[in-house]
Each structure stands twice: as C-alpha cells, then as structure tokens.
Structure 1
Amino acid sequence: MSTDVPACTWEGASADLTARLTAVDWAATALGDPGAWSPALQGAVRTVLDTRFPAVLLWGPAFTLVYNDSYVEMIGEKHPSALGQPAAEVFVEAWDHIGPLLEGVRTGQGACYFQDDLVPLVRRGFLEECYFTFSYSPVRNAEGEIEGVLDIAADTTATVIGQRRAEALTRLSDVLANVETRQDLRRLSLYLLRDLVRDLPAVDIRIPGLPEDVPIAHSGAPEPELPSAAPAAAEGASFFVEGTEQGQVVWQPLSSFPRPGLPMPTLVCRTSEQLAFDADYRGFLRLVAASLTQALTRIDLLEAERDAATAQRDMSVALQRALLTAPMQPDHLRVAVRYAPATDIAQIGGDWHDAFMQPDGALLLAIGDVAGHDLDAAAAMAQIRNLARGIAVATDDGPARILEHLDHALELLHVDAMATAIFARIEQTPEQKAAGLRTLRWSRAGHPPPVLLHPDGTAELLEEGGETILGVFADVARTDCTIELGPETTVVLYTDGLIERRGVPLDASLEYLRSEVSGLQDLDPEQLCDHLLAHFASPGQDDDIALMVLRARAE
C-alpha cells in the first residue's frame, strides 16, 4: 500500500475521499506510484478533484479510474473499490456500450456527448435502469498526445423515469376520459399500460364478470405470468406487495361501487427488476390506480343513471302504449297508427293518437304532442287525451268546439301542460254517401298541417287554421276547416317528431314531407305508415313520433 503520496496530490477531495484515495496501493495499479505520474495526469487529477460536478478520469489504455466526491453518489456500491481499477472491471455490465466510446476518444476519434443515455449499472445490488447525460473528452499532454479520457456526467435517471411516468399518466387520463363501459375501460387501459414494459413488466386489471381476452400491446419477450388470485393477506388492503425482492407483485383494489356478489376490481402488476421499489414507484402505481378508480366510479354512475332513465322510459312507453288503443275502423274507412318513442333514454315525450266514434256515428281523429320530454309529459298526455275523449263522446260537436271545451277543462282542472293537437271529424251526408264522398272537418291548435294524398298521387298540405296551442288561454275562439274527400283519398296526421330536424327550417321540412308522400297512393295505410317511419325516423331521434293515416275507400 502506498504511504508516501504527497497530501497535495488529493487536494480538493473531501476528507473521506482523501482517505480512500490515500489507501489505494497506486504502485500496484496501471497508473503506478503517484510520485512518477506525468504532468498531464497530475493536472487532470487536480481538475477532477477541484470540480463539484460529477467527474471521473479514465487514464491510459486500461482506463484506470480516479474520480471526485460527486461521482461517488453516481456509482453507489462500486465505490471505493473502483478507485485505481480498470473501467472494464468496474463497469463490466455496461462495457459493451461504453468501452468502444472510450476507446474511440483515446485513439483520437474526438470527444462524444450523450443526453439521457440508457446505461444500466449495478450500483445498489441489482442491475438498475440508469440514464446519464455525459461527455467523454480527451486529455492531452504537452506534446498533444492523448493520455486519458475525462468523463463529465450527470445522473438523469430520476428525471427520465419521472417524465416517462408523467406522460403515461397523461395518456391514461386521455384514454379514460370518454370510456363508458367497464369492458372498454379494461381493454383500452391495458392496451396502454401493457406497453409500459419498463415500469410494468406485467399488468392486469381484474374486473369480475368481464372476459379477459384483451390484446397485448407490447411485443418482445413473453409476458411474465401474474398470480391468478390475490393472497389472503391482500384482502381489504389498499396497497399490498407480495415478495421482498426486485420484481414484486402489487395488488391495488380499485374502489368503486362493488357489484353484488362479485369481488372488487383490482389492479395487479409486477414491478421492474431493474428499478428500486421506492416511494416514487409506489406513488406512480397509486396514481394509475386512482385514475382507473375515478373512471370506474364515473362509469358506474353513468350506468346507474342509464338504468334509472331506462326504467323511467320503459314506464312512460308502457303508459303511452296502454293509452294509445287501436283505432276504430268504420265501414269504408281504414285507419293505421304508429307510435315511435325517442331513442334517447332520457327523452320521453307526450305524443298521442286516437280514433273513435261520436254519438252521431262520425269518426273523430285526434293527434297531439304535450310539451316536455319526461314522465310528467307522458302523464299530462294521458290527462289531456282522456279529457278530450270525455268531451267528444258527449257531443256531436265539431273539432273546433271540442278544442274550446278542452281549453276550459284544462284551466278548471289546473292541468299544468301545453300541447299542440289536431282534431278531425269524418262526416257524410246522404247525398255524399250516394256519391261516395265525405267531408273532412278539422281544427289545428298550433300543430303541423295534415297532408292530403289524392288518388292520382298528388299531395298537398292542408295549412288552413293553426290557432294557439292548448293550455295557454281558456277562451280561444277556434275555427273549423273543411275539405271534401273523394274515394281512395288519404289523410296523413303526424307529430313534429316526424319532420323537425336541427338546422332545417320548418317550411323546408314540411315541403320535404309533402314531396315524399307524393306518389305513394298505391300503398295501403299500414304500408304508408311503415314507409314514412323508415324514411323519417332516425336511430338517434330525440323526439317521439305519433303517426296516423286515414284512407276513405269507395262505398
């Protein structure tokens, strides 16, 4: 062991590093006795020890190490045995990468620089994923000959891994922002998470009741297997780690609304064998679990809302269908009706249709639409429809008088609802009967006009009338409009859900309906109803549709 090294040789080093440097038997190393070191070596050593930035001198063909205090922190347990040793022996695990670089600098190929370069090292008892920003520079003597290499380095491992994890969490948040089912959450999340092989060599999201045939995003080595079930000790734990060495298995329940009789959804993953399972690693896994939990909670709330809305919709539709009885079919008159509820589960309306006989034998047709899209609208529809029936069957009045009585009844009974409607009455005098003719008498309360389809295929809108909607004023004076119907003439009544479209003017929609009805005189009323619904009703319609088609047949 060398004992005659001048103290000034290690000037700039801490007391501890000075003791370590002094304890090295330099004479037994490739550098030899410090007293015989070249001026270039002595100057380079002083430069390295004087800087506070991590620096190491790799001298001679063997690249023998001399480094400063800051470099000690970068190489961990390799210190102090690395002092005075060849770099190939100190960094055997990284030599295939750094050896050619050092040799290139020493042989005059110039300095090199790398930023955030992956250089795995054993510095804490295991091969660790490490990143460094460093520069290898030649050290020359007075004659310009290269005697060694100076390495100025910064350990960027924490920065690189932290940024990588932050980006992964951002992408996961983006993926989860719009998922609406548990199956999509598992499929899309695993597609992303299973590509994070450095942090998550193996990962799964166990959601009871879902299939596990999820595509694996990353390729390469086969995915390490994960335990099929959590250990008993993990039951009820918010963060359970199985094993004590590198590559532990972590179990994290994803707290959400538990499904009756099913275990809690769980994130299970194997940690990397090349990363310390420290507070940052644990924090990353907890943030992954928190993102999944938040998304699961949102999905479960959406499903609960959808279930409630579906139940409400089913109740409303059942009520509407129960009230919308089959129309009466007098001799020589044929009536077809359709009711199509809105496809959006939250959009339930108050559309209705009705066809029944008045005391004098005339057929009364009614179609209407209560304002609103909920269970209250459906209930109001039932009230208005039943009131109209009671008024109409007690009199031979025409549509205008029936609507006037209905306005008064709504006010007296405090029915808080507004509705559009058409009431139409099919009348026939003896003279008309002999000629095969009938009279259509109708009155509109703010409702879209009927379409009249003639036997020759021409169609027109019956735009007369159109007074104030029901439920606004009790004393509205309403008027009847009339037109004579010949044999095989067809009348189409409908609610606005059939024609209204966002961004399309009402006049254009009405004209489009008229032109579509034109030429359909050969379809019977049932076929005409089906044709119109198929053409106008859309998969995403947000309003109910009531439709009624009357055809006056020859006597």
Structure 2
Amino acid sequence: MVDDRQEGDGGIAPEAFDAAPVSVAVIRGPERRLAYTNLAFRATFGERPIGEPVRHAFRDLVQHDYFDLLDRVLADGEPVTLAEAPVSLFFPDTGYEQRFFSFSLTRLPGDEPAVLAVGVDVSGSVDTARRADAADEQRRALRRFQSLIRVSAEIVWVTDPAGYPVEPSPGWERVTGQSWERFRGRGWQRALHPEDREETARSWERALAQARPWRYVVRLRTVEGDYRHFQVNAAPVYENGVVVEWVGTCTDIEQEWRREHRRRLLDGAGAATAERTGLREMLGALADVLVPALADGCGVHLLPDYIDRPAGAPLLTERVATAARPDLPRQPPFGREWYAADSGFTRAVQRSRPLHHTFPPGRPPAGMLPQGTTEWLAAANANSVVLMPVTVDGTVAAVVTAAVCGEREPLSREDVDLMRQMFDHAHDALSSAIEYHRTQRVALALQHSLLAEPPVVPGLEIAARYRASPATAEVGGDWYDSFVLPDGAAVLAIGDATGHDLAATVAMSQLRNILRSLIVDRQECPGDVLRRLNIAMETLIPEGSATCALARVADGGPDGMRLDYAVAGHPPPVLVCPDGSVDLLEDAANPLLGLGPLFDEPYHSAQVRLPPGCTVLLYTDGLVERPGEHLDKGLERLCEQAGRFARRPLPAFCDGLLTRLPTAGIDDLAMIALRVPPDGGEAIGVARS
C-alpha cells in the first residue's frame, strides 16, 4: 500500500517505485508540492515533509537554481538531465556536506502538472576521478617545479614531513660551507644570522603544521664570513592526500634587498623632513630612520660656532638628537661637548669626510669621540662607528655618529654611502631648517641681552628664568627686571609687550627703561608707578599695549619682610609658603597698560607680609595659558606644582615649574622669583637662566 500522503498520477502507480534502488520523488501542482518519495530517496535525503512546497521541504539546499529547472520542466514539458551535479544540503547519515548526483526531471501526464525526479548518487566515482586528476596534476606540477629549480635556484633541499633534511644539498654546502653532518637535523639553523634564527624557526614550524607553501627571507652566513639575504621558497609534496616530503630553494637576493632597503631609507628620510620644520625635530626624525634600519645607535650634533671659530680653537658641538635600539641604553638627547683642535672629531669636520672605524666589540678607539660617547660604545658592545659631517650650503652644519653593536655585521662602506645619500636627499629641507635655527639663535641672544641680571640682595635670594617660544624664530615681548633702591628695598618687575616681532622687543625695552626711571624718580607705591607708566605710554608708545606686575620687597620691622605689589592686566603673583600652602595675590588687579585716556582712574596697590622661607613668584602667561582652556585651570596647575616644590632650593623651584607644567609651547615665558630665608638662615645667591 502507498502512504495516504502520496498520491498516484496519470497511469503511474507510485508504489511501483518503492523498492527502486534509485531515489524517486514526485512534485505536483502549481505550488510545487512534494507528493511522493520512495525508500531510496528517504534513505539518502531523510524524511522530507509530504504536501509541503518543495522549496520549503528542501530549504537547506544551497543550489537554488535546481528549483528553476523544475519550473522550466513544468512550464514547457521538456525533460532535463544532469550528470555529476553537486548537491549541498543536510544528509541524515553524514550531516551537512556536498555530494554529486546524476538526475533527471520529467513532466508526468495528467490534468494537474507534475514532475518525476529520479537521481543516482555518483559521489564515489567523482571523488575517485578527481583524486586521479589531482595526482596527475601534482606530478606534472612537481616535474615542472623540479625542472625550474634546477635552472634558477642556487640551493635546492628536500626534507621529510617533519621538516628535517633527508639528503645532502650541494648548493647549501657550496654557499654556507656546512657539510651534510652539520646541515642535517636542525643544524641548518646555525648558518642563519643569530637575530633571524628564532623567528625563522617559528615561521617554518607554522608552515609545516598548516602544510602550506613557505616563502621567507633570511640572512645566511656565507663561506666568506659575511651575511647575505636569501629568498626561501618551499612547498609540500603529496601522495594520496598525505604530505610525504618538502622541496625548497634558497635564492640570493642581496642586491635586490639592498636596492629596496635603500629606497625605504630614502623615502623615510624624505618623509621625516617633509613633515617637520624645526631643525631639532627634523634631525631627531632622521636619527629614528637610521635606527634600527642601518645602525643600533645614533647621535646628531650641531656646530653653532664653526664658521666663526678661530684657527686652533676647540670645537663646540650641541647634541640635539639621539636614538638607540630598544634594548640598548640611550644617551641624553641634549648637551654641549667640546673637542680639542687636534681631535679626530675636529679633523673629520675640517676635512668634511666621513670617519669610519671597525673594532673588536666593546673596544672603541680612544680619543676619536667624547668620553661619554666612547663609554656608551663600550657599554653597548659596539663593533663599528661612523662619524659623518653633514654639509649644508657648502658648510659643515652638523655631525652624525652612528654605531652598530653586538653580532650585527659592522657598518660597511655601502652603509656609509647610504647615510650620506640620506642627508643629501634632505639637503633642501635641512637648509631651510638651519637658516630658521640660526635666526632663532640670534633672536634669543638679542632677547637675553635685554634681560637684566638679578642683583645680589643681602637677606634675599632671587632667581630668573626665560624660555623663548619653540614655535617661532622671532623675538617676543616677555621681560623681567630687578634692582635695589637706595633705601635697600628690592624691586621685581615682569611684563609682556604685545606681539612676537622686533617691534615687541623694542616696546619691551622701552617699557623696562621707562619703568626704571619712574620707580627711581620718586618713592611711591607700585600702583601709582603703573598709573604713571600708563600715562607715559600714551605719548612714548601710542600704539602699544602691555601687561605688568610690579613688586617691592622691604624690611617691615618687627613684622618681618613686607611685599607691596600692583598688577596691570597681568597674571597674579604667587606666594608660596614653606609648608606648601599657596596664595594667588589678586588684591591689586588693574587694567591693561596702554589704554591711555580710556582709563584715568587710580591704580590700586596691595600689601602682604612675607613669612620666613616663603617664595614670591612673578611670571608671564606663557607659563599657565593653553589654547581652548580657561586661565583658571593653568593657575590651578601652577599653584599645585609650586606647593610641591616649596622647599626646594630656589633655582630647582624655578626649573621644576618649567619642567613639570604642560605649557603650550607657542609663547615665550619668563619668571622671576624671590625667596625670603628662613629664621636664622642666610641669604645668598642669585641665579639666572
């Protein structure tokens, strides 16, 4: 009997197919419902729901275009036959996989359209044929590969499936000098550069585990004792789907590697100079290109006074950049060094030719480089060093020292030539940066010449600091001043004339001189002095404006030292007590200088007692201002750091603020600080930087 879910059709009794050894199904009606499946069909495809649309019954079928074939047979009545067609779906005996079937679709007669589907699983024969074809193709590929390597590769080798050599390699022995006894096992790894061995072994093990072709670049030690770059290519050889051996080649690519290495270094040098304008930053970036690509350590020195240096005089250098491999110590990036006129360093500069030395590891020649550099070379186990003058616009402007350390191959003549090409490649950018740097040095010297030395004041200590903006080569308007009045009182002043050009410096100089005259002219409080300065500016500097903080420190009798101060548009002075407490002195704030008739009101002064051991700090806005941030944030940072440094010596107090405060770097900054000695302490000392 036929399942009552499976209906007969057009003269064909479905039960006739029940015992058929092939898969049989009937699909009927405009909705393409599955009407019948025989035992072989159900054994192959599982129990599919009778009465459901065939697309739903076989929704796991990947090849949806077979449903389109069914529609076509129903539409035009032409039968379709496919041989070795892939069928990907869920099979009850194996799960989801792809098999191959030869099947036909035939339209059945009758009032209602129906299709008879008959299929045979031919996966076994297809797999056998494909394996045979794959084996033939593999044999052909192996023959081609063997023919190719015989004519193109210098070294050919064969290993077992675990990656161990199974036969001698004449090419390997000819290139590396390793005999078969030394080559076999993992002995071949001893011919690799020590820095390459670990990573090469890991890469080779990954290729073996994945049974995938291996392509790698290694450095091999040749019979001449040097290292050359070789391209390694290896591929697994299969038999019956199993890896039975590996065949590989090593081809010398040293020249190609050097050309690519040179291109990368020159491109890196070009990028380093194109993206920077400051000379120090540019030279630092070039040092980072050299290390570790060409050297393990590098230092760059400028020669600021070389052009004007008298004959026979020592040579001054400024170290402006250093670089070192991560596992090596690094020299400080900044510092000054002097070289005797007859030193190897000075002679190399005078001749404008590189000085190249190779030596036993850790034993650099004495007298060629400064003591600090020589000690670094010994500690880093260096084996070679190059001292290369860098000529810009016909003059030696800098000197680059580069060293190679450990077991790395010493610097060669080709390496020295590549260093020279790097800096020649950057010549135009270096020329502009050096001119910029020289202008900045002249501007800085001019600025310092206009700043007064703090006086020696018995009972007090005074320190001053000035830092030019690294973002501009022009002089600015920041200034400070201090002197002692006839009555013994100490005066501190600090200010900022608007602008960052020569006009600002001229205005700064005029303001300082006018202020000095007004202070000495008559004995009056700081606020009155600033008011008169504002009036004077209307006539003498009509287009200018400025800020200023003025303070007078004197003995207040039994109450100790007293501070009288006034501020005109300037950040407030800071009073730092020995216990770390900090106060902003904001009780004498007055308008900006240069307003003239717009402000004709009195300027206020304020007074505060100075406890023993306290510090008074006057500063310009470059110390506290940052773009996009409210000034109060900068003042909070200043007070916090000043409290931390309260008990440090005064010079260290000032230097700590310069070092720890995150300044924007786009403005000059100046500061002047006064320290009242503790009870029973002696004053002394003046510091300026």
**TM-score, normalised to structure 2's length?**
0.38
**TM-score, normalised to structure 1's length?**
0.47
